[in-house]
Structures are given as structure tokens and as C-alpha cells.
Amino acid sequence: MRIRAFTPQDLTAVTDLTIETFRPFYEDSFRTLVGEAVFANQHGDWRDDYRREIPQLHAPERHLYVAVAEADDGLAGYVAWSVDPGRRNGRVSHLAVSARHRRGHLGTALCENAFAHMRSLGAVVVEIGTGGDPFHAPARGLYERLGCTALPTAVYYRQL
């Protein structure tokens, strides 16, 4: 496994991995929890939202970075993060690992890689978030193993 900086040639694979990774959340978890009206309003176009969002994740001139993990069989995962040099903060915005590479500590390696880059850019604190639903339980476990502290929060939706 090799972790390296994102290149434009990675865009399709990163976008496809994002959609593959988060499809169960949007289609099976979120939709079921909030119902069709809220789902349609909040994330009804989630695939195209990612197709628009992913190309914007890597822009070092704006302190936005992506690292990808390559395996013999292709893209195994990626992490996207940003750094606010003035506040000395880093933030992980995206983490995705392909199903065939989960449970092998790749998420840990990607996060640690991002954390090291953040430190090298002057960050002293990192923010990383995830959902409180069952789909996101593995991410919560990973972040806790990385020494992150959870901030309890609640988000409520209601159809009007």
C-alpha cells in the first residue's frame, strides 16, 4: 500500500469510491431515518453533489489537500483535509476506504498521513466529524482510537 498526493488522474476513482462508500448511508440509513421529503430536500441529489464537490477538494493554493492510498488492485482509499494557518487548525473533510480494504488499518494510516501534513503546515488541532447513526459507527471507533474527543451534538429534521 502506498499513500501519495492526489493527482488529476485520480479524480474519477476518488469520485466513484466516494459514491460507493456513502451510498448505504444516503440510501439505506438517512433516507429511512428522515423520510422521503426531508431526504429529497437535503440529499436527494447526493451523487451529483459529490461529482461537483470532489474536484474542489485538492487545491493546495487554498490549503486544501487530498492523499490517496494505492493498492495493487487500484485505489484503496483517500483522505481530504484542509488547514487554516491563521487559526493553526486542520480539518478532515472526507475519508473513504474501499470495502475490500476495510478493517486493515488503512483509515488509520490515511488519517495519520493527513495529521502529519497538517502538523508540518503549523496546525496544532484537528477537527474530524462523522454521524451518530449506525452506518458511521466504524468511523466513530476509528476516531476514538486515534485519540479524538467526541463532542455530543444533535441535528433534527422535520418536514414542514
pLDDT over 90 (residue 105): yes
H or E segment and range at residue 50: helix 46-53
Instruction: Quick: pLDDT tens for 25-46.
Output: 999 999 999 999 999 999 999 9
Q: Across residues 77-97, what is the average pLDDT? A: 97
- Output the CA torsion sign for 117, 118, 123, 125: negative
Return the pLDDT at 154: 85
pTM over 0.85: yes
Q: What is the DSSP letter of 85?
A: T
Residue ranges of domains in the chain:
2-145
In SS3 terms, 119-159 reads as: HHCCCCEEEECCCCCHHHHHHHHHHHHCCCCCCCCCCCCCC
Return the pLDDT at 1: 84
Under CATH, which number does the domain 2-145 receive?
3.40.630.30
C-alpha cell at 69: 492510498
